[in-house]
Structure 1
Amino acid sequence: MTKILVIEDEPSLREEILDILESEGFDVMGAEDGLEGLDSAQTNFPDLILCDVMLPGADGYAVLSGLRQNPDTALIPFIFLTAKATRENVRQGMDLGADDYLTKPFRMDELLNAITSRLTKQATIVQIHQKVTQLQHSNLLKDEFIGSASQELRGPATNIMMALKLLQQAANPEQTQRYIDRLQQECYREIHLIDDLLDLHYLGANERPLQPEKLNLQTWIPAIVEPFKTQARKRQQTLWSNIPPYLPMPVIDAADFKRILSELLNNACKYTAPGGKIVLEARCDLTASEAINPDGQMIMLIVSNEAEIPDKFIPNLFQPFYRVPESDRWQQGGNGLGLTLVEKLAKRLNGKVQISSKAGWTQFTLQLPIETNPPTTLAPNK
């Protein structure tokens, strides 16, 4: 409810204004002098203030000056009520930041029109202020992102230059091959980072339209999992999957779904020690997340691996370029964008991804609605 403070030393006029405003649905409060009004404004933070100019204790100009000097009250719309509306008086009030003047005696419809006008303008000002704040925050995030991306790109480039110099000085075929392998590894790392950066850009700009199709998960998921089983065997890990035969066939963007699953499996293999276990489960759930899909079924993919992440690191896992300190046991040299992409892709598919880590296991749970028809709009990427 809109709060209005009326600062008026004439009791009958103050009560009349308060009664009328209350009957119009406003939350009202009154003050009989300037000091009381200033204290009330700085305590209750009204949405608009009506203030007489000639007041005991502190006049209306002193009240307005005090409010404008306080950041918490500086933007409250302020309307003077006065029987003394000379050009000089009006100019003095406007110079202090008054929004309007009403000359006594005034009709109540004039008062209500002035209030409505000021509240409408104030709503516009607040919206503009919020947009400016959002843009400033967005620009700050972009600057931070560009700085982090530049640093990440510089790493592989520096290693490539070093490997090239060492390659020129190689004394035997074994050294030559070792440096060539290092060059290939760093080139792949650089290309992968650039691809991830481009994907983040396209997601943020909604430049890649969804291409939904009907997927048979019983055959589609094992095809994605198989290369990771090979990778796990090389690292003496155990990767097994449980894909029940009764799963429905969702209509979904296959490329996005594949990217999410691949990133989660790669992440699990990356942070699991030799001899550790990795488990992929899929199931259909009617009650998993009513907030996502209250009228239909949910597909749930759960990727668990035998490794625990300390609680203090979990809130940062979806932040760009974030990596859990000293956890890359296989020295894959990831760029910290995989889980950022997972979260954004899940939102794009109208789903979400959650993480828990306890009792020696880390679990990522992906929840996606089962669409019976292809979606016609994109989920917002924020």
Structure 2
Amino acid sequence: MAKILAIDDEERMLDLICAFLEHDDHVMATARNGREGVEKALDFQPDLILCDVQMPDMDGYDVLKAVREDERLVRVPFVFLTGLDEMKHLRQGMNLGADDYLTKPFSYADLSQAIQVRLEKHKALAEQYANEVREAEAKAEEAMLTDDVTGLPNRKRLKDVFLSRLQASGSLAVLCLSFDGFQQLSTQRPEALLNVLLKGAATRLRAFVPDASSLFYIDRNRFVLLMPDAELLPRQAQTLLGKLNEPYKIMQQELLLTASLGIARSPSDSEELQSLLRMAEAARTKAESDGGNQHRFAE
């Protein structure tokens, strides 16, 4: 069942259309001229519009133009009713955005089938459009939660994941990791090279971390990992640093870099993410100032 608006200056034609389509359980509204039709369309908000081409004062083409100017009706299927002698002008209406046409005289089967086909096509297009909107929204949301350079989840995603992990396990280690001397390096190397370097580091970290959702990039040269607070943590930290210390071959250059890592534990150090990040970063800074290529626990 659909809401259908029929516009025609012949009352007998409107009566026939209503009889046919009410038999198919459609809800009908009618208008006897173009201006009334536009007003009815705005008020009735039909699922489909049937409109005669030749009408006094405001013809079907003008009705179509007016309907398409309203954003609520811009996608509503519009079907012209036309006589055989008007077929030569029909291309004008199709160019204006009409969806179909039906020649007079027509039978119940002709009208019923035309309406059903057009409504099904419109439903399919509406579903496709809705899916595209949902996909675009999902991509936009994902982009808001992902770093452009490394492709890793960013600080916003970290907040949600940290809370869920801590609630699930009761304890958690927050690791802050950065390349040593990166600030000086950034004054000597082009931005493009640094971005490739950070992407390469992200790739190595992904290979090391079993759960990819535990790895984040929250700021320039600041990687964060969420790991279980276990006895193996010191050994894992040094293994991780070793992976990052391997040479990077970028733009026909070989870069030899080291990294430092700071570790804060929850709940022993804090249960607040921002506090843990500050403590882990302070420990990382201490590790770098002590020569780099090592890890430190928060004090």
The alignment's TM-score, normalised by the length of structure 2, stands at 0.54
1:102 paired residue number? 102
1:198 paired residue number? 212
2:288 paired residue number? none
The Cα of 1:121 is off from its aligned counterpart by 1.0
1:136 paired residue number? 136
CA–CA separation in structure 1 for the residues paired with 2:211 and 2:140: 18
Q: Do 2:6 and 2:28's aligned partners in 1 also have CA atoms closer than 8 Å?
A: yes
Deviations 1:83-109 (A, max 9, x none): 255443111111111111111111111
2:61 paired residue number? 61
2:36 paired residue number? 36
2:234 paired residue number? none
Deviations 1:182-233 (A, max 9, x none): xxxxx9xx969x84972489xxxxxxxxxxxxxxxxxxxxxxxx98xxxxxx
Q: Do 1:270 and 1:330's aligned partners in 2 also have CA atoms closer than 8 Å?
A: no
The Cα of 1:39 is off from its aligned counterpart by 1.7
- TM superposition outliers: structure 1 runs of 4+ over 3 Å: 84-87, 148-153, 162-165, 194-197, 266-272, 327-334
CA–CA separation in structure 2 for the residues paired with 1:87 and 1:267: 79
CA–CA separation in structure 1 for the residues paired with 2:182 and 2:91: 73
The Cα of 1:328 is off from its aligned counterpart by 3.4
3-state DSSP of counterpart to 2:146: helix
Q: Which has the higher contact order (CA 8 A, sep 6+)?
A: 2
CA–CA separation in structure 2 for the residues paired with 1:271 and 1:48: 59
CA–CA separation in structure 2 for the residues paired with 1:11 and 1:43: 21
Q: Do 1:30 and 1:37's aligned partners in 2 also have CA atoms closer than 8 Å?
A: yes
The Cα of 1:64 is off from its aligned counterpart by 0.7
Letter in 1 for 2:97: G
Label 1:142 to 1:37 Cα distance change in 2 as closer, same or farther (>3 A).
same
Q: Do 1:5 and 1:41's aligned partners in 2 also have CA atoms closer than 8 Å?
A: yes
1:93 matched to 2:112: no
Deviations 1:31-80 (A, max 9, x none): 11111111221222211111111223311100111222332211111111
Paired residues for 1:228-247 under 5 Å: none
2:117 paired residue number? 117
Label 1:195 to 1:39 Cα distance change in 2 as closer, same or farther (>3 A).
farther
CA–CA separation in structure 1 for the residues paired with 2:30 and 2:83: 19
CA–CA separation in structure 2 for the residues paired with 1:135 and 1:65: 31
Label 1:93 to 1:163 Cα distance change in 2 as closer, same or farther (>3 A).
closer
3-state DSSP of counterpart to 2:49: strand
Label 1:199 to 1:41 Cα distance change in 2 as closer, same or farther (>3 A).
same
3-state DSSP of counterpart to 2:180: helix
3-state DSSP of counterpart to 2:46: coil
1:75 matched to 2:75: yes
Letter in 1 for 2:8: E
Which is greater in Rg? 2
Q: Do 1:85 and 1:103's aligned partners in 2 also have CA atoms closer than 8 Å?
A: no
Letter in 2 for 1:40: K
* Unaligned 5+ runs, structure 1: 166-186, 202-225, 228-265, 273-322, 335-382
Paired residues for 1:157-236 under 5 Å: 157=177, 159-161=178-180, 195=209, 198-199=212-213
CA–CA separation in structure 1 for the residues paired with 2:267 and 2:60: 65
Letter in 2 for 1:328: S
Deviations 1:215-254 (A, max 9, x none): xxxxxxxxxxx98xxxxxxxxxxxxxxxxxxxxxxxxxxx
Identical columns (%): 30
2:17 paired residue number? 17
Label 1:163 to 1:4 Cα distance change in 2 as closer, same or farther (>3 A).
closer
Letter in 2 for 1:100: D
1:318 paired residue number? none
User: RMSD across aligned C-alpha pairs, in angstroms?
Assistant: 4.0
Q: How many residues align?
A: 196
Label 1:163 to 1:125 Cα distance change in 2 as closer, same or farther (>3 A).
closer
3-state DSSP of counterpart to 1:55: coil
The Cα of 1:142 is off from its aligned counterpart by 3.0
Deviations 1:281-303 (A, max 9, x none): xxxxxxxxxxxxxxxxxxxxxxx
CA–CA separation in structure 1 for the residues paired with 2:153 and 2:109: 61
Tell me whether 7-16 or 140-149 shows the greater mean CA deviation. 140-149
Label 1:333 to 1:106 Cα distance change in 2 as closer, same or farther (>3 A).
farther
1:328 matched to 2:275: yes
